[in-house]
Each structure stands twice: as C-alpha cells, then as structure tokens.
Amino acid sequence: MAKSTTWRMIAFFWHQLADMKRKLLRIIVALVGVAVASYLVPRLTQYVIDQVIPKRAMGSLIGTIALALLLTAVAGLLSGLSTYWIGQVSLSAIARMRDALFRHTLGLDMHYFETSKTGDLMVVLTSDVNTLQRLISSNTLGLFGSMLSFFVVLVLMLIQNWQLTALILLTFPVLFVLNNIFVRRIRAAYRRVRTSSGVMNNQIQQALTSIGLIKSFTTEKATANTFENVNEQNRDNQLTATRLGATFSPITDFVNYLGTAIILGFGAFQVMHGQFTVGLIVAYTAYLGILQAPIRQVTGLIQQLQQATVSFERIKTLQAAVPRVVSPPNAIKLARFHDRIQFDRVGFSYDPSVPVLKNIDFSLAKEQVIALVGSSGAGKTTITNLLDRFYDPTEGKITLDGVDLRQADLESLRQQIAIVSQDVILLDGTIKENLEYGTPNASEAAIWQAAEAANIATFIRELPDGLATQVGERRIRLSGGQKQRIAIARVFLKNAPIVILDEATAALDNESERFVQASFDRLMADRTSLVIAHRLSTVRHADNILVLEHGEIVESGTHDQLMAQNGRYKELYDLQFT
C-alpha cells in the first residue's frame, strides 16, 4: 500500500510536470554539465599531485589551476541556472495543483462540508499542500542532478579502479537496509502527526468561533485544558517522528564515513605496492563526496517523502470526494422564473432510518408569499435547502416552472434564488465589496439604489469612508440590524425572482427588526418568497402559512384561517403573545 501510494505520488508529479518538457530538457542539459565538471575537477587535482608537482612544471600548474577555476565557475553557473529553472517548474506545478484542489473543494456539495471538519480541510488545503511543495522544491529536485553526477562518476571510478570502487559500494546495501527499517516507522509517525494536527486545528477553530459561548459560561480553563491535552498529544507525535529522524541521520552518516576509511586503507595499501597513486587517493576522496552527496540528500528526502506520502493520501482523499448534487448531462438551463414552484410528495432523510421530511406537498406561485412555521427541528430549513438544491429529495420531486430541479442546470437554478438568513456573513473587505458580492459588474448607481431599498444608505453615507469603509475582522463594528440590511441590499442587487428568508429577524431587537422588516417588505414586493419565521407576527400577511411538525405539514392556510382552526398554529401564536 505504501509503495503504491509513493508510486502514485511520483506519477502524479510527473503528470504535473509533463507539459514542461522544454524546461525539463534545459534542466537535464545543465545537470549533465554540472556532472561532467564535478568529475573533471578531481581529475585535475590528481594530475597536479601525480604529474605536475614531481616534474616541478610551473607552466602546467598555472594552466591546470586556471582550467579548474573555469570548470568550477561553469559548474556554479549551470548549477544556479538549473536550481532556478527547477524552482520555476516545481512552483508552477504546485500552484496549479493548489488551484485545482481549491476549485475542486468549492465544487463539492453541502453534504460534504456538513460531514467534514473545517480544521481537517484547512490542514489539507494548507499544510499538506505545503508539504508537497517542499518535496518538489528546488533543493529536492536538485537531487536528480546529484544522482546524475553519482552515476557518471561511479562508471568512471569503476573503469579506473573497480576493486576499490566495489569495496566502497559495499556500504550501499547497508544504507538500503537501514532505509527499509526506518521508512515504515517514519511514515507511520508522520501519519499520526497529521491526524493530531487536524484534531488540534479543529480544537482551535471551534474555540475561536465559539468564543462568546466560552466566555459566557466561563469555560476558559476547561477549554484551555482540553487544548493542552490535544497539543501535548500532537507534541508527542512530533517528538516521535523527530526522534526517528534524529536516529536515522547519524547512523547513515557513520556508514558514509566508512567509505572514506576504505579509500584511505585500501588506497594506501595499493600505493605501497605501486598499484595506485597519492593523487588518485585524493581524487577518490573527492569522488566519494560526490557519491555520498545524493545518499545524504536521500536520507533527508526519505523523511520528507514519508511526510509527503501521508499528505498526498489526504489530498487524494479530498480529490476523490464526489459531489452528490451536480448538474446532469444535457441539463436544462432555466429561464427566469415565471410560473410556480411545486413540491410533489417530497420526502427527505440524511439517514434512511430517520426521515426528516415526509410527504411535503405544496405549490408556490409567482409573487406569492408562503411562510413555514413550526417547532425547531420540524424541517423548515431543510425545505429551503431542497429548493436551492443543496440536497436532493429522497422521495418525490420539486419542479420549477414544470422542470424537475434534478434535471436543471445548477447554476441557472441558484441564480434564481436569493437567501437571507439569521447568520449574516460579511467578507473581510469594504462595504462596497460586500454589497456587490456575486454581482461584480454592478454600477455604483445600482449599489446605492440597493442600499436605499435596504434602509442602509443613510448609515453608509455617514461613515467617513462611505462605501470604501472596511468591514470584517478587526474593522468597523456593525450591529446585527446593519449587517442584516447589508445582506438584504446584496440580495436586491442580485435581483433574483425567488427569495428565501430563513428566520432573518430572529436575533434582532424590536427597533432593528422594524427597519429590517421594512426592507423585507420592499424585497418581497414583486418577488416569490418562502419565509421561515420564528416570530409569527412577521408572517401574518403571508398568502399561505404551512405549519410543520416532525417533518410533516400538519396545517395550512392564512393567519385568520389557522387561528380559527384552533390548532397547532394558534397554540404557537398564543405561546408568543400570551
């Protein structure tokens, strides 16, 4: 499994680099030049020691030194160019991969996000991608240059003195065995690190998004203690992985140093018997450094490879996620809504054994207002999620102008629907950027018109920077009503024919609710509206009110009709106003 993952990762990288053949060819040529220069410089050193010095040939000495300096300069230039070109190739590949992964994640449906932890996704999209980036960085890909030098020098060493070279090569199987011993342990250690990092990130994300709850219940110490335990587990996993790496490196270094001892011992023996020269001992010592360079790099690369393998597994898991809700082949591109929405005996469940909606049957005509009321968990929000096709019904069907939503183009459907919920999301940026979100080509006149309709224009004009005022984290603080009216203005600008209001005034005080309700009245004029209401006073004038309990419609009618029925609606109404 591990080997399969590693080869799949290599194949993945090769696919990423496949369209850069010209750049890769330049890199290979440069690396060949570095390899040739790396071999020639020690040969010049041997020539000076064995030939120039005994003959006291000053002219040859100066020429040889000049040639060695030239070769060194050329090798340095080619090495620098190859490093830069490798950086270009690797960073371009990673940028494409990160962009594709982010686009893929955005394309997943709501079910995936509601069943996945945000911290885990953040680790994959940031830390795991960065780990792969380190793996194919210029330093790591430079290993291929070292390997090329390794094979060139090795062949020439075997031609020069195969006995000594063979003795040096005896240390390589030892390195191979050591690598196999440590590889599995290091990979398992880094897999545990990734898991504990995800748990820790989830803990941080949950604490930061629930800071109000933590402070109101004074659970700072308990939350900190929980995080401390998670942090300690992550630290212990990191230490285990670090200890394995710290053990692996010196052992491989010791084996590498055995090669030097072999050259000095066996080489000196051959010199004493006239079979070798002192210059060749010096040259072979330099060649050994060339042979050992990739081995040392591989030692570090193995640790990176194990981290990258774990990260790659998690990235491939994310890439393998397939959205359940997608536009079908030959999807019908919806025209602007003009007739009616029909829920036809719709049923829905997240778990087949626990139905959420049962036999939901109603019609919403153009410019009609239907309100959904009922206890928490009755299925009101689920109905709106099905209309926006965040999920598909498990029974029945929903049609818009006679078209089954499952046959419709998803983008053309969602362009028809605007949602205002209780939890308003403002992006980190200016008020203008928040207003025109989803409608980037809107004119400033249209933006001000939408702001006027949402009762937020006066407030914006009073700000020192007007539409350019920064909102979001650590910026100007907005009240709940102001945020809500910005969200309403955003919907006005979208100009969708269908509006969903999901308990949009539930968290507002009476004064803010009055301003927001006036904005809603303007918004719903000439639009088709589906309203989820907690405060029943806001839906008294709805054309039809559906009362839900346990996923079923138990009552329907106007406010007056339902009050006269003396049923569940009247019970809910009396609870609020008695």
End-to-end CA distance of the chain, in Å?
67
> Virtual CA dihedral for 294, 249, 305, 309, nearest 10 degrees?
160
Q: Poorest-confidence range of 18-22, 39-43, 65-69, 308-312?
A: 18-22
> Which residues have C-beta within 8 Å of that of residue 393, sequence separation ≥ 6?
346, 347, 348, 357, 386
Task: List, as one string, the DSSP characters of 544-570.
Answer: EEEEEETTEEEEEE-HHHHHHHTSHHH
Mean pLDDT throughout 458-475? Answer: 81
Per-residue model confidence as pLDDT tens digits over 181-217: 777 788 788 888 878 888 888 888 788 877 877 876 7
Are 423 and 487 spatial neighbours (Cβ–Cβ below 8 Å)?
no
Q: Residue 134 corresponds to which tokens in the numbers above?
A: 């380190």
Are 329 and 520 spatial neighbours (Cβ–Cβ below 8 Å)?
no
Pairing of strands 498-502, 528-532: parallel
pLDDT for 508 beyond 60: no
Q: What is the DSSP letter of 405?
A: G
Per-residue model confidence as pLDDT tens digits over 119-144: 788 888 888 888 888 777 666 666 67
Per-residue model confidence as pLDDT tens digits over 415-435: 999 888 877 778 788 889 888
Are 405 and 332 spatial neighbours (Cβ–Cβ below 8 Å)?
no
Are 145 and 79 spatial neighbours (Cβ–Cβ below 8 Å)?
yes
Task: List, as one string, the DSSP characters of 232-249.
Answer: HHHHHHHHHHHHHHHHHH
How far is C-alpha 519 from the geometric centre of its chain's CA atoms? 38
Q: Residue 49 corresponds to which tokens in the numbers above?
A: 């020691």
Which pLDDT does position 192 carry in this prediction?
A: 87
In whole angstroms, what is the distance from residue 329 CA to residue 410 CA?
Answer: 11
Per-residue model confidence as pLDDT tens digits over 248-302: 878 877 877 777 788 778 878 877 878 778 877 777 777 777 777 776 666 667 6
Per-residue model confidence as pLDDT tens digits over 66-104: 988 998 899 889 888 888 887 787 778 888 888 989 999
Q: Residue 367 corresponds to which tokens in the numbers above?
A: 């410019």
* Distances, alpha carbon 27 to alpha carbons 11, 33, 82, 143, 235, in Å: 19, 10, 5, 12, 40
Q: Tell me how many degrees the CA angle 311-234-10 measures, rounded to the nearest 5.
A: 15
Token look-up 């539409």 returns 467
pLDDT band at residue 231 using 50, 70 and 90 as cut-offs: very high
Per-residue model confidence as pLDDT tens digits over 309-362: 888 888 888 989 999 899 999 999 999 999 999 999 999 998 888 899 999 999
> With b meaning 16 or more CB within 10 Å and e meaning fewer, what string describes 451-489?
bebbbbbebbeeeeeebebebeeeeeebebbbbbbbbbb
pLDDT band at residue 505 using 50, 70 and 90 as cut-offs: low
In whole angstroms, what is the distance from residue 41 CA to residue 285 CA?
Answer: 12
Per-residue model confidence as pLDDT tens digits over 526-538: 889 899 887 787 7
Which pLDDT does position 513 carry in this prediction?
A: 64
Amino acid at position 375, single letter: S
Task: List, as one string, the DSSP characters of 303-340.
Answer: HHHHHHHHHHHHHHHHHH---SS-PPTT-B-PPPP-SE
Mean pLDDT throughout 47-61? Answer: 82
pLDDT for 523 beyond 90: no
How high is the mean pLDDT of the chain?
A: 83
Mean pLDDT throughout 472-494? Answer: 77
Share of the chain above pLDDT 70, in %: 92
pLDDT for 225 beyond 80: yes
Which pLDDT does position 283 carry in this prediction?
A: 78
Which pLDDT does position 147 carry in this prediction?
A: 75
> Which residues have C-beta within 8 Å of that of residue 132, sequence separation ≥ 6?
94, 97, 308, 311, 312, 315
Share of the chain above pLDDT 90, in %: 22
Which pLDDT does position 235 carry in this prediction?
A: 92
Angle at which helix 143-160 crosses helix 278-320, to 10 degrees, equals 150
pLDDT band at residue 1 using 50, 70 and 90 as cut-offs: very low
